[in-house]
Structure 1
Amino acid sequence: MKKPLLVLSAIALSISSVLTPVAATAALPQAVSNQQLPSLAPMLENVTPAVVSIAIEGRQVSRQRLPETFRFFFGPEFPTEQLRERPFRGLGSGVIIDADQGYIVTNHHVINGADKIAVQLYDGREVSAELIGSDEMSDIALLKIEKTKNLTAIKLANSDSLRVGDFAVAIGNPFGLGQTVTSGIISALGRSGLNIENFENFIQTDAAINSGNSGGALVNLNGELVGINTAILGPNGGNVGIGFAIPVNMVKSLTEQILEYGEVKRGVLGVLGGELTSELAEAFGYETNHGAFINQVIPDSAAEKAGLKAGDIIVSVNGKQIRTFSELRAKIATLGAGKKAALGIVRDGESRTVDVVLQAASQSKVKAESLHERLAGAEFANTSADDGVKGVKVTRLEEQSMAARYGLEQGDIILGLNRQPIRNLGELRKALEKNPNVLALEVKRGNNVLYLIIR
C-alpha cells in the first residue's frame, strides 16, 4: 500500500524541480548579459500617434417597387418606384500623412456614403473630418481635419524597395476595439486578380488584419508607412494570415492627384495584353515568365507614339520590375495623365528602354445617386474639349427617374451649384458632400443657360 504514495511523492518532487527554475526566471532583470531584450515598443511610440480611428454615419438609399394596383387607385401618373432611406454607421482606420494641413488617408470603402465623418486621435480627442476626394477604383480616400495641435504625421517609405520576407507591422482599429498592433512579414508583392478593386497591385502580409483595420497603416521596422491596409482573405471576414495593403507609392500618387485636380486623372498606355506564360517567353526569346505581354497596340495611343509593338514584353516601369499585366495596369493608371514613364521591354530577345508620355483616360462616368439621392437616375461625366466648356455633363438619364422629374435632360452641362463654379466631377462631389437643402444647378442646355432648383 506504500508504493502509490512513493510514486506520488516522486511525481510531486519532479513537478517541484521543474517549476523552480520558472519561478527563478520571473525574477530575472530586463537585460540579459547586459543586452536589452528586443522590442518594437520604441518604434511604435513614435508611429502609433499617426494612426487614427474613423467613425462614419450616413444614409443608404434603396429603391422599392410598389404594386401596379396603386395606379388603379391613384392614377397612371403615380410612380411605381419609391426611394427609401435608412441610416447606417461604420468604423475604420486612417493615417495622418500631413500634420500641418491635417490630411488623413484611408480607404474609399470606409467613408463611402458618409454624411458625417468623425476622427478619434490616438490621445482620445475627437474631431470632425471633411472628405477632400476619393477614388473607388483604387479604394483610396483623402480626408482633412481642421487645424489641430500636436498632430503626428507618419513618414512615407519607398514601397518599391520592399522584399518578400521583410518584417511588417499593422496598426488599426479592428472591430472597434481601439488601436491594435500586430506583426508579421511581407508574404508576397504585386498581388492581383482578387477582384477586390479595379486596380490591384497589393502587398500581401501575414500580420493579423481584421474588420475595422481598413485604412490603417502597414509599417516597416523603421516606423515608415509602406502600405494602407485594405482587405482580408477569409471565409468569415476574419484573419487567416492573408491580408492586403495598397503600396504607399501608389497612395502618394493618388492623393497628389486628388489634391491637385479634385479627382484621380488616370494615365493610359494604350495596349491590350495578358500574362506572360513560359511558352510565350520562350517563343519571344525571354528567359523568365515575369512581365506583361502586349497582344495589340491601340492606334494613336501613347504606346504607339512611343514605338511599342505587338509582341513586346514590358518587364519594368521606371526601373522597377513588372511581374504581371495586372501590375502594369495598376502602376500606369496611378502614375497619372501626362506623366512620363520609362518602360523596360524585351523585343526579339533584346532588352531596351522606351520613354512614353501617358495619355488621359477616357471619360469616367459616375452614377449620380452616388453623389446625391435627388439626382438618382442620371449618369455624369467630365466634359471633353468638344463640348467647348468645362463642367459636368449628363451622359445618360432614365425616364421617370428623380433627376428627370426635377428637369434634368440628357446632354445638359452643369456649370455651377449654389453659385459655386463646377468644372469637374471632383468639384461637384465636394460641393454635394456639404449636403445642401436646396440644389440650385446652373445648367447649359444647347446655347442657353438656365437654373434648375432641386428641393
Structure 2
Amino acid sequence: MRAVTLVLAVFVSLIASASAETRQPATDLDLRATYAPIVKQTAPAVVNVYTSRTVRTRSLFDDPFFSQFFGQAPGGQTRQQNSLGSGVILDPDGIIVTNNHVVEGMDEIRVFLPDRREFEAKLLLADPQTDLAVLKIDAGEPLPALRFADSDAAEVGDIVLAIGNPFGVGQTVSSGIVSALNRTNVSVSDFQFFIQTDAAINPGNSGGALVDIDGNLLGINTAIYSRSGGSNGIGFAIPGNLVQRVLASAVTGETVVRRPWLGVLGSDVDSRIAEAIGLDRPRGALISQLFKGGPADRAGLKEGDIIVSIAGQEVMDGEALRYRPATRSPGETIEIRYLRDGRERRTRAKLEYPPEIPAANRTLIEADCPLYGVTIANLSPALNEELGRNPFDKGVVVIGVDPRVATRRTPVRAGYQIFAINGQSVDKVDDVLRALRLPMESITVRDARGRTGTIRLR
C-alpha cells in the first residue's frame, strides 16, 4: 500500500512539474503581461483638440433706452470660451476625426500631436446626426494613422483600450471590455447604435479612440452615462463602420453626408406583437412604412413584414433598419431575411441614396411679411436625411432664419414645418409663395418637438 502511495505521489509531482514547465513565460512580453505594445502602436495617432470662440455677454446697455439714458454704447463685453476634446488621425495626410460637439460653433480649432507639435485645423465636414466631424491639418510629413477594425465583428467581452485627453490632463489610456453592442437608447445622436464599454471615459475623451487588441480602431468615444459627469463604467463609442462612411464623404469633398437607405420605416417588435405572429421571442423590426419605388419595395418587401437580418447582421429593433444600410456603400446589393405569414423568406436589395423627390426648391422669402428672412424648402427623403427628420415627412420646412429677424419679426424657427397660411393648406414652396400675396393673418406649424399649433398674426 505504501508503494502505491509513493508511486501516486511521484506521478502527481511529475504532472505538477510538467504543468509548471508549460506555464513558464516564453518571452519577456509574456512575463510583463502588458498592453504597452498596443499603446505604442496606437497612441501616436490620437491627438488633443482645443477649440475656442468669442462670446459677447449681454448688458443693460444693449437696450437702446438705457444706452441713451446712461450715455453708454451698446455691445457688452466679450469673453473667450474654450473647449477640449480628442481626435484620431485616420489618414497620414492629416485627416482627423473627432466628435462634432467638440468643434460645433467654434471660431478656432487647434490640434496638438502627442509629440507636442501644434497645428491649426480646417473643418472639412460636420455631421451632427452622427456627432462626428472631420478635420484636416498640414504637418508637412506623413503622420501615424489608425486602421479600422470591422465593428460588426466585435463581440461582448472583447478587450478594448480607450485613448484620449480626459479633463485636459494629457493623453491617457484606460482598458476594459466591450460591455454591450447596438445600444439604441443613449440619445447622443440621431444614429442610435453604440458600442458600450467599461473602459474609463471622461470629459475630454470625446473624439478619442476605442481600439481593439490588434490596435485597430473599433470606434470613436463619444459619451458617458453618469450623473456626476465622471466615468462610472458606462461609456459609448460610435462604431467604426459608421465612421468610415462619414470619412468617405469628407475625403470626396461632400459638404453633407449622404447615406444609403432601404426606403423603409420600422418599429420594434415587442412581446405582444411576437406572440400575435407566433415568434418564440421579440426580435426583428416591423415595416410600418415603405417608400414606393425604393430599394425595399423593388426587393418585394411589404408593410407588415418583419426584417430579422440585413447583410448577415441580426436586426433587433427599428433603429437597425436605418443604421445597417448607412454603413454600406451605394450600389451594393445586400441580403435581407424577413418574416411573412409566419415563414422566413430571403430577398436581395440594391442600396441607393434617398431621392430628392420633390426637388428642394430652397427659397429665401424677401417679401414684406412676417416670414421675411426665412428660407423654406420642399421635404423629400434626401432632405429629411440631411436634416435628421422622419424620412417619410412631406410638405414645407423652415431650413433657416436670418439672425437679424430671428427674435424680432418672424414667428417661426428653423425646423418648423408649415402646414397652412390663413387657414389654407400648403404642400409645397410654391403654395407658400402664392399665399404670401395676401396679408398674413395666421400660420399653422409643427415645431421640432412635434407640437402643432396655429399662430395668430393679427
TM-score, normalized by the shorter chain, greater than 0.5: yes
Match of 1:355 in 2: 349
Measured after TM superposition, the shift of residue 257 of structure 1 is 1.7
Matched to 2:210, the amino acid is L
Distance in 2 (alpha carbons) for counterparts of 1:279 and 1:70 = 64
Q: 1:141 to 1:353 in 2, by over 3 A?
A: same
Pairwise CA RMSD of aligned residues? Answer: 3.8
Distance 1:292 1:184, change over 3 A: same
Deviation at 1:396, TM superposition (A): 5.2
Distance in 1 between residues matched to 2:45 and 2:149, nearest whole Å: 15
Which residue of 40, 44, 53 maps to 1:58?
53
The 5 A counterparts of 1:118-129 are 118-129=110-121
Stretch deviating more after TM superposition (237-246 or 146-155):
146-155
Q: Name the amino acid aligned to 1:401.
A: V
| 2-structure distance, mates of 1:48, 1:271 | 41
User: How much does 1:339 deviate?
Assistant: 5.2
Contact 1:398–1:404 at 8 Å: present in 2 too? Answer: no
339-348 or 304-313: bigger deviation: 339-348
Q: Indicate the residue corresponding to 2:130 in structure 1.
A: 138
Q: Does 1:210 align with 2:202?
A: yes
Matched, 1:107 2:66: no
Superposition deviation, residue 48 in structure 1: 0.6
- After TM superposition, list the pairs within 5 Å mapping 1:149-160 onto structure 2: 149=141, 151-160=143-152
Q: Report the 3-state secondary structure (helix = DSSP H, G, I; strand = E; otherwise coil) of the residue aligned with 2:179.
A: strand
Bigger drift between 81-90 and 136-145 goes to: 81-90
Counterpart Cα distance in 1 of 2:327 and 2:377: 19
**Deviation at residue 338 of structure 1 after TM alignment:** 5.5
Alignment of 1:223-372 (within 5 A): 223-260=215-252, 261-335=254-328, 340-348=333-341, 349-360=343-354
Report how far residue 124 of structure 1 moved: 1.1
- The 8 Å contact of residues 257 and 336 in structure 1, kept in 2 or not, is answered as no
Q: What is the alpha-carbon distance in structure 2 between the residues aligned to residue 271 and residue 37 of structure 1?
A: 52
Distance in 2 (CA, whole Å) between partners of 1:399 and 1:73 is: 24
Q: Partners of 1:365 and 1:341 in 2: how far apart? A: 33
Following TM superposition, by how much is the alpha carbon of 1:273 offset from its aligned partner in structure 2, in angstroms? 2.4
Matched, 1:185 2:177: yes
- Pair 230,64 (structure 1): closer, same or farther in 2 beyond 3 Å: farther
**Pair 1:142–1:70, CA change in 2 (3 A):** same
Aligned 8 A contact 2:191 2:323 in 1? yes
Displacement, 1:72?
A: 13
What is the identity, as a one-letter code, of the residue corresponding to 2:40? E
Cα deviation for residue 378 of structure 1 reads: 4.8
Equivalent in the alignment of 2:19: none
**353-362 vs 105-114, which deviates more?**
353-362
Cα distance change, pair 211–304 in 1 and its aligned pair in 2 (3 A): same
Tell me how far 1:237 sits from its aligned partner.
1.3
Identify which of 20, 41, 47 aligns with 1:46: 41
Deviations 1:244-273 (A, max 9, x none): 000001100111023222220133333232
Residues 83 and 197 of structure 1, relative CA distance in 2, 3 Å threshold: farther
SS at match of 2:322: helix
Equivalent residue, structure 1, for 2:424 = none
- The answer for the alignment partner of 1:97 in structure 2 is 90
In 1, Cα distance between equivalents of 2:43 and 2:94: 16
Cα contact 1:377–1:403 (8 A) shared by 2:
no
**C-alpha displacement of 1:345:** 1.7
In 2 relative to 1, CA 380–137 (structure 1 residues): closer, same or farther, beyond 3 Å? farther
CA deviation after TM superposition for structure 1 residue 307, in Å: 1.8
Post-superposition offset of 1:292: 1.2
Return the alpha-carbon distance in structure 2 between the equivalents of residues 50 and 66 of structure 1. Answer: 49
Contact 2:296 2:349 in 1 (8 A): no
Distance across 2 between alignment mates of 1:325 and 1:332: 12
- Offset from partner CA, 1:21-46 (integer Å, 9 cap, x none): xxxxxxxxxx9766523110011111
Conservation of the 8 A alpha-carbon contact between 1:127 and 1:145: yes
Distance, in Å, in 2 between the alignment partners of 1:83 and 1:360 is 46
Provide the C-alpha distance between the structure 2 equivalents of 1:314 and 1:275, rounded to a whole number of angstroms: 10
Match of 2:429 in 1: none
Cα distance, 1:136 vs structure 2 = 0.3
Give the structure 2 partner of residue 219 of structure 1: 211
| Equivalent position amino acid for 2:347 in 1 | T
Q: Give the letter for the 1:160 counterpart.
A: D
CA offset digits 1:172-214 (Å, max 9, x no partner): 0000000000001000000012221111110000000000000
Contact 1:345–1:354 (Cα < 8 Å) also in 2: no
Quote how far apart the aligned CAs of 1:135 are.
0.1
Cα separation, 1, equivalents of 2:78 and 2:170: 30
Q: Are 2:162 and 1:162 equivalent residues in the alignment?
A: no
Q: Which consecutive unaligned segments of at least 5 residues does structure 2 have? A: 1-22, 365-371, 381-396, 415-458
Aligned residues, how many? Answer: 354
Change in CA separation of 1:64 and 1:256 when aligned onto 2, cut-off 3 Å: farther
- Is contact 1:341-1:358 (8 Å) kept? no
Matched residues in 1 for 2:161 and 2:53: separation? 31
Query: Match for 1:154: what amino acid?
Result: L
Contact 2:261–2:351 (CA under 8 A) maintained in structure 1: no
CA–CA distance in structure 2, aligned partners of residues 401 and 264 of structure 1: 29
What letter is aligned with 1:316?
A: S
Residue 196 to residue 45, structure 1, CA distance change in 2 (3 Å): same
Q: CA deviation at 1:335?
A: 4.0
1:428 corresponding residue in structure 2 = none
Report the secondary structure of 1:226's partner residue. strand
Deviations, residues 280-319 of structure 1 (Å, cap 9, x unaligned): 2343344442321112323344332322112211122221
Q: Is the 8 A contact 2:61 2:76 kept in 1?
A: no
Q: Which residue of 2 aligns with 1:37?
A: 32
Is the Cα contact below 8 Å between 2:245 and 2:326 reproduced in 1? no
Q: TM-score, structure 1 length as denominator?
A: 0.68
